Structure 1
Amino acid sequence: MYFNSKGKEENTYDAIVIGSGISGGWAAKELTEKGLKTIVLERGRMVKHGEYPTAMTEPWEFKYRNKSVPTEVLKDYEKQNRTGYTVKEESLHWW
């Protein structure tokens, strides 16, 4: 990739934050408030409320009432389910 001198300056950062979840978002906030030029990299697209499949689904409309999904399903989401509350019917489509 070739940059002119201004392009290189515009594409140089003091900090790179990977992921804009609660921790990444907070880290980016703290870094920018301290004056660091910060970029946040996110792998997914911007998703607005209403643009995902379960946005308007009430808890009682889910097969398992939006509690945890069956054990046989959880086996496929070992890492995501370490907290015990991440993999539910409403969030299964993200994984």
Structure 2
Amino acid sequence: MRTSDQENKYQRAQARVGELKEFYNHLGIYLIFVVFFLALNYFTSGYFWAIFPILGWGLGILGHAANTFRWNPFFSKDWEQRKIDEYLRNDDLK
């Protein structure tokens, strides 16, 4: 029998696995469409237009990856802790 804490931990782990699964599905679909866009571009046009949807969607993939893997170079946990310490030192909480 699971305790409430174990059940909560299990649900969080299950949600995390779901996030990872969604990201990898998104990445797989993106890679399939990259091949599709490149093939379509190759057989239909001399102009390399496929770069635009590939790069646009690629930016979306990067955002999804940053969210999934908890990566934020601008507001990291270290930054948060430094700001908290700074406000506590300066008593600048108005």
Q: Provide the TM-score with structure 2 as the length reference.
A: 0.24
Report 1 or 2 for greater relative contact order, CA contacts < 8 Å, sequence distance ≥ 6: 2
- By percentage of residues, which structure has more strand? 1
Q: Provide the TM-score with structure 1 as the length reference.
A: 0.24
